[in-house]
Amino acid sequence: MTDQDTDKGTDKGTDEDTRYEAVRSRDARFDGEFFFAVETTGIYCRPSCPAVTPKRQNVRYYASAAAAQSSGFRACRRCRPDAVPGSAAWNVRADVVGRAMRLIGDGIVDREGVGGLAVRLGYSARQVQRQLTAEVGAGPVALARAQRAHTARVLLQTTPLPVTEIAFAAGFASVRQFNDTIREVYARTPTQLRADAPGRAEERRAVAATAGIPLRLAHRGAYRAEPVFDLLGRELLNSIEELTGEQGSRMFRRTLRLPYGTGIVSVDEAGHEQPGTHAEHRGGWLDARIHLTDLRDLTTAVGRLRRLFDLDSDPYAIDERLGGDPLLAPLVAARPGLRSPGAADPEELAVRLLAGPEESARLVARYGKRLDAPCGELHRLFPTPDALADEPGTLGALARALADGTLALDPGADRDDAEEALRSLPGMDARTAALIRLRALGDPDVAVPGDGIAADTWRPWRSYARQHLIVEGQL
């Protein structure tokens, strides 16, 4: 293995000196941006791993956990590198690699295979394989395999499910494949990995069985939760969403339609800081619980929440750029780590942005399917595009375009193509199309017509500049 091989796919803007300094200083800002492996131990870690810093000549760098695993390294048991925030690059990049990474994160390879991924991207499977390997050091199969291993670990350590059920719920084709992967990635058997979980197993499993799957949704840097929860509160749609509790300790809950079934998810406003890191470099997590009718939907549900709460962004890069602007500098200083919320269901959000709150409530009451097992005030799903296809005007046109695939808003959608398709719909105005692009597609650099903020100096973070101005009451 050569240095040239291991550099392949790492961030070209992060040289080896910078990467080793991040490892030496245990800098959590780089968690998820790259991984390092130690040849003498056969283990790979996140940059903030608390273990003794390895000698520089023994360190190799990788752009993804999958790349490290494909090179024969197993995950560190102390820092759990498979559980870091996703690379912020995939939020920003609109090219085929960025789109592919978002789709793989949504579970497309598990559901539709590499062929399905390629079709959605408009490339051949060979082209997708080549570009991903060149950029992140691993192809779609290896990336999906790493994700399945992480899902399996979560299920093993938070639920009482039998190992066989977990194997298929995590997306593995066979129990043998599941066992082999867990051994290779974690150097433990599934039974040993389950026993490694902190806390008393009996209590943990009893809680998980009745209260859903508990998860930590990791983020890098500071996270300003209040404005996100304020926005969710203003947008609440009864019967599919609710917000309870007092400011600072609120809980957001909502229903989800997922590929294999349905879910009810909850996220706590009160976050947690990652222990053992320098104060200015802290990351942390939000607590969540997910109830699913089919556990195969876990990866997709987690991805939906991560996009809704904008957990994979890079607040360091965003705040540095926007904080250099005289207008935004005091706003950034007052709210470091402000996020630009996305969507739990992009098709749903597109309809809601077009229809408005009152009309959206009517659509839910008329077309929203009732849950088989309601939970308190949550008892419906937002209607599908198919159900809305006969609605008149622009709403019906939008629903039909979503239903027949003319308009794609999935995580791998081409943002320019999607906005062009939106603006071609009869009656669709430029402002609504831009808002759909910003929220449903998670585009970090949207200038919304009518806002009067198109400053090129704020690129590529104009969506975040807009959020600062909204929270400050200037929009």
Indicate which residues carry an active-site annotation. 45, 451
Query: Quick check: bond before 47 cis, omega within 30?
Result: no
For the chain, the first-to-last Cα distance in angstroms comes to 54
Provide the CB-side half-sphere exposure for 114 (13 A, CA): 15
d(CA 438, CA 444): 7
Our CA angle for 316, 321, 322, nearest 5°, is 100
Asked if 194 and 260 touch (Cβ cutoff 8 Å), the reply is no
φ, ψ of residue 38 to 5 degrees: the values are -115, 115
d(CA 81, CA 65): 7
Sort strands 74-75 and 43-45 into parallel, antiparallel or unpaired.
Answer: parallel
Longest Cα separation, the chain: 67
Sort strands 59-62 and 35-38 into parallel, antiparallel or unpaired.
Answer: antiparallel
Of 218, 232, 233, 298, nearest to 265 (Cα)?
298
**Distances, alpha carbon 153 to alpha carbons 57, 351, 448, in Å:** 31, 36, 41
Cβ atoms < 10 Å from Cβ of 334: 12
d(CA 434, CA 310): 18
Asked if 111 and 294 touch (Cβ cutoff 8 Å), the reply is no
Q: Which strands form 43-45's sheet, in the order they lie side by side?
A: 59-62, 35-38, 43-45, 74-75
d(CA 134, CA 411): 21
User: Residue 272 is inside which H or E element, if any?
Assistant: strand 272-273
d(CA 158, CA 156): 6
Could you identify the residue written with the tokens 């009864």?
238
Asked if 309 and 228 touch (Cβ cutoff 8 Å), the reply is yes
